[in-house]
Structure 1
Amino acid sequence: MQQNSNLNNQIKIIWPNLIVGFSDVKFWQYKWIKHGYCSRYIIPMIQYFQAAVRVSTMMTNLTDYMDVSGGVHPSNHTSYSESHIRQTIFNLVGPNIDVFMSCMVNRTGHVLLKEVYLCLDRRVTHFIPCPGPVKSNLCGVSNNIFLPTF
């Protein structure tokens, strides 16, 4: 991927590392191993990251999309229910698409939205219901989920 400077530059913009102590490349390696490696026979690594770029153009930026009137706004002071966050995402991907969210608890005890999981078809062009159970750290029924600012 480092040899493909155009793809590398696009990924830096849409999928930057936000974990302290990780480089972008280390973060991307982690994501490939966790999410992409199992699909390597269907979609090779370069195509996996090209698909990430394609998906980003389908969605713009999920955070930006959610930050609409009545949506979910990044804030360290305003929290949302899981159902409100899901409904905001459904407005983007459609109501029959599975949306799995992963949360974490920070040092002050706040529940933070960490990841959103969506499934795509094999051509990586359309969102689809996920074919099987997705392991995730569900956010529970918390009405106090924060989408932190960076």
Structure 2
Amino acid sequence: MGFFFTPRFVLINVIVIFQCFSLPTFAQDFDFFYFVQNWPGSYCDTERSCCYPRTGKPSADFKIHGLWPNYNDGTYPSNCDPSSPFDRTQISDLVSSMEKNWPSLACPSSDNTKFWSHEWNKHGTCSESVLDQYEYFETTLNLKAQANILQALQTAGINPDGSHYSLDKIKSAIEEGIKLTPGISCNVDGSGNSQLYEIYLCVDSSASNFIDCPVFPNSNCASSVEFPKF
């Protein structure tokens, strides 16, 4: 017995096939976020050095690196939507706060646009099922306000004065101060000293709440690390 396909049947199937191929673009495809802050003194205290943004030297505080969608197995998506490029005009009322909390220290000096564009294009576009461009940057700034890493460290007597501190003491100070276990990464200064560089905290896939990290990045820190001045 043969099969007869009506135009309506064909149209319905074309729509279903189109929807099946379209869904991954809009579906949430990650498990959690890494919220990453770094210490500008460590960024600058390397052989590469740094350049202050055109607005001047940033304040001596941890700065935002980014909000990065991740999978529970430690891998991550990236550059998910080339059709949604960074648009500075969409975040014009956030720029002042971003210049303070999310500056670029890369050379040559800049207005931060290249840095923010990189973060949105590589990481932010992979969270569009949860956060549009404005929400991505606004949410990240709000997370920064909730997680005062420097205050937690200084309360425990850990200060950015060029001294060396136990990595375990640094981790414990952050756990005590903000009630979250951090991932910690380090870099190396011109003399080969291990420096406190980046702090990783985790956020749920809705970008609403801090959570215990499902997985941590590999630590490259020595047991004692320098906390350089800035």
* TM-score bucket (shorter structure): 0.7 to 0.9
Name the % identity: 28
Q: TM-score, normalised by structure 1?
A: 0.79
The residue type paired with residue 27 of structure 1 is F
Larger Rg computed on CA atoms: 2
**1:34 offset after TM fit, Å?**
5.0
Q: Structure 1 pair 66/50, CA: closer, same or farther in 2 (3 Å)?
A: same
Gaps of 5+ in 2: 1-86
AA matched with 2:177: L
1:116 aligned onto 2:199: yes
Give the Å deviation of 1:99: 1.3
Partner of 2:178: 93
Q: Evaluate the alpha carbon distance shift between residue 121 and residue 115 of structure 1 in structure 2; reply closer, same or farther with a 3 A threshold.
A: same
> Where does structure 1 lack aligned partners over 5 or more consecutive residues?
none
Q: Which has the higher contact order (CA 8 A, sep 6+)?
A: 2
Match of 1:148 in 2: 228
Q: What is the match of residue 14 of structure 1?
A: 101
Q: Quick one: which amino acid aligns to residue 74 of structure 1?
A: P
Change (3 A) 1:2 1:100: same
Per the alignment, residue 167 of structure 2 pairs with 82
Q: Is 1:67–1:73's contact at 8 Å kept on the other side of the alignment?
A: yes
| Structure 2 partner of 1:127 | 210
Task: Tell me the residue number matched to 2:131.
Answer: 43
Aligned partners of 1:91, 1:126: CA distance in 2, in Å? 18
Aligned CA RMSD, in angstroms, stands at 2.2
Structure 2 residue aligned with 1:58, among 109, 126, 146? 146
Aligned length: 142
